[in-house]
Chains A and B, each alone.
Chain A
Amino acid sequence: MEEIVRAENLTKTFTLSKKQQRIERAEIARRVAVDGLNFSAYRGEIYGLLGPNGAGKTTTLRMLATLIRPDSGDAFLAGHSVVKEAGKVRDVVGFLTSDLKLEGFFTPDYLFDFFGAMHGVDKATLARRKKELFERFGIDKFAEVRVKNLSTGMLQKVSLVISIVHDPEVVIFDEPTNGLDVITAKVVTDFLTELKGMGKSILLSTHIFSLVEKLCDRVGIIIDGKLAYEGMLSEIDDLESRFFGLYRSIKGEEV
């Protein structure tokens, strides 16, 4: 199996502002969000990063997508270092989270071309991909409707398609179904399965056991910014009890 994503001792510490310290009632001025994290995901797999709130999932994925820089350690996506080759990494990764929005004023057609240009995709390839992807996900009928007028489900599809406009090898998805109703959530999970069918490697984060059980080939459990467990899902008979077992052994018996 070929390694497509590898995190090596990824570490990220945030300095909390005075205001943040007050809000979170934290006495410490620094918070270690990710603490020497190591894991590997393989080509063609769906890898799930599972962890409770504040475990450091979003921070990890943002480092992988080069939105933020690790304090120390490194990660490699399709062989490119997020520290040294951020530009290359951005071209092999499609990153999706609910924090990344599309401007409501534009149409899916326009945005697809725009983000294609941002990634430096040539015109002919772009036109071909647009036709193919829009048809496949039923966006073609809505291609000229402004994004702000689309239904939530359609908007989600458009975001998904635009995140893979440059045909990335790796798709990273933070909390893919968070805040979505069952219908839209299904749009997303179907899309991920479809992507896997296209041979893409997918890395997602979640705190939902059932999502991991349904979608993932491999799971990494992250607690307090460290990897507590990693393994094939087929080797785990009860994910939930596995998780709580680990959680208790790290955090003590208070749960």
Chain B
Amino acid sequence: MKLGALIKKEFHRFFRDPRLIVTMLLPGIAIFLLYYFVGEAVYAEPEKYEFKVCLVGSSVCTQLIEEAIADGTENTVEWLECDDPEAAKEQVEKGEASALLLFSEGFDTSLDRPSVTIVYDPLSDESAAFHAIASAVLREVGMRYTLAEESVASAEQMGMEVMQSILPFIVVCFIFSACMSVTLESVAGEKERGTLATILVTSVKRSEIALGKVVPLSCVSMLGALSSFLGMAFSMPHLMGVSLGFLGMYGFLSYLMMFLLILGMVPLIVALVSVLSAYARSVKEASAYSAVVMIVIMAVSLLVSFVPMMGAWSAAIPVLNAVVSLQEILSGHMVLWKAFLSVGMNLAYTGALIFLLARMFSSERIMFGK
């Protein structure tokens, strides 16, 4: 009951202050606008495409792709049967063909893990659009086979891919700042203003005070995280230059995991900033500490953005694990157990930090030291 009152108080404080709510909703809007305009700048208005696709080998999947292409658009596709993959690749590079689909022999029937490769040019709108549709269809069909994607663009031309790979980094930054603004105010602010001490003279348990901070502040910060997630989810298809709709790009499970990963980071960061805030003597000091932590996290997650496919050990490192998993999902290589492990690990770290926070609230040195 005491915990309930503590949680209600934080919510009361927050939801009566419109300014705070706006700060929470801004990140998502910012991400969406940022990526919307980047997408806009890179891809012109969706045109009517007449795909010419080189085909090596055959599969019923081509029919599914055809249906997906025709679905609701005036786009058409023409299959060019080829024998020589190298020659076909060259055609894609030169822009004479939209893409190359390479099915291994007996693709539809073989049980020996058949493979399919899409060769495309991400710098051509047409080619990128075909790639987006084809890869979405192939993923939906199931992973009975190996799907490889090969881009013919050279490394420095891959601006969009860079944008895609730093997206997790941007999300982490926004989440961190959302959590920071709320938590600094509430924990360091209350300590500095002496209102936390007023609660400490009552008989409420210190662990309840700790939970009474982390739980509601996480909920509030999740608004910010949710807004980041929606901004991200809605800008992704646009970013890829095709309007495949919300779920078209990645499939439900991927989106669910992205959502869990983002939400899982929130209590962790809130608890972390709470601990720093409880330690600091003033809001100013607490924001200095948090800024240092934020810079470290930012640097690490930016680094991760450019080092694809981190080892499994990354799942043990707080925040970083979520960034790695998000990046894997965005690049279409989700490792489900790693994503779940990341969420679980982050929750465990949160628990440990809440415990520490409760200890800090009972420490006279930290709460009342001069």
Contacts and interface: CB of A to CB of B under 8 A. Distances in A.
Interface of A: 14, 20, 62, 65-69, 87-88, 90-91, 93, 95, 99-103, 105-106, 110, 113-115, 117-120, 166
B136 to A, nearest CB: 49
B204 interface: yes
Contact of B201 (A65, A103, A113, A114): A65
A104 to B, nearest CB: 8
B364 A67 contact: yes
Nearest to B198: A100
Contacts of B154: none
Contact of A101 (B1, B4, B193, B364): B193
Given A20-B370, A91-B203, A99-B194, A118 B364 contact: no
12 contacts: A67-B197, A67-B200, A68-B368, A95-B201, A101-B194, A105-B13, A105-B16, A106-B12, A118-B2, A118-B6, A119-B203, A120-B2
A118 B199 contact: yes
Given A62-B368, A110-B12, A120-B2, A103 B202 contact: no
A117 B2 contact: yes
B305 to A, nearest CB: 40
B5 A117 contact: yes
A44 to B, nearest CB: 23
Interface string B1-37: 1101110010011001100000000000000000000
Given A106-B9, A119-B202, 11 more contacts: A20-B370, A91-B203, A95-B201, A100-B194, A100-B195, A100-B197, A100-B198, A102-B198, A115-B202, A118-B204, A119-B203
Contacts of A106: 9, 12-13
A103 B16 CA distance: 14
B66 interface: no
Nearest to A15: B365
B203 A114 contact: no
Interface string B336-370: 00000000000000000000000000001001101
B93 interface: no
Contacts of A105: 13, 16-17
10 closest A-B pairs by beta carbon, nearest first, are A117-B5, A118-B202, A101-B194, A90-B203, A68-B364, A100-B198, A103-B195, A95-B201, A118-B204, A91-B203
A48 B13 CA distance: 38
Interface in B192-223: 193-195, 197-205
B195 A87 contact: no
B364 A102 contact: no
A106 B14 CA distance: 11
Given A91-B203, A105-B13, A110-B12, A99 B197 contact: yes
Nearest to A88: B203
Contacts of B205: 87
A81 B316 CA distance: 45
A161 to B, nearest CB: 13
B293 to A, nearest CB: 23
Contacts of A118: 2, 5-6, 199, 202-204
Contacts of B190: 103
Contacts of A120: 1-2, 203
B368 A67 contact: yes
Contacts of B9: 106, 114
B198 A101 contact: yes
A102 B203 CA distance: 17
Contacts of B4: 117
Nearest to B204: A118
A102 B194 CA distance: 8
A154 to B, nearest CB: 17
Given A20-B370, A69-B364, A100 B1 contact: no
Contacts of B2: 117-118, 120
Nearest to B212: A118
Given A65-B201, A90-B202, A118-B2, A102 B195 contact: yes
B370 A101 contact: no
B42 to A, nearest CB: 46
A105 B19 CA distance: 14
Nearest to B202: A118
Contacts of B12: 106, 110
Contacts of B368: 62, 67-68
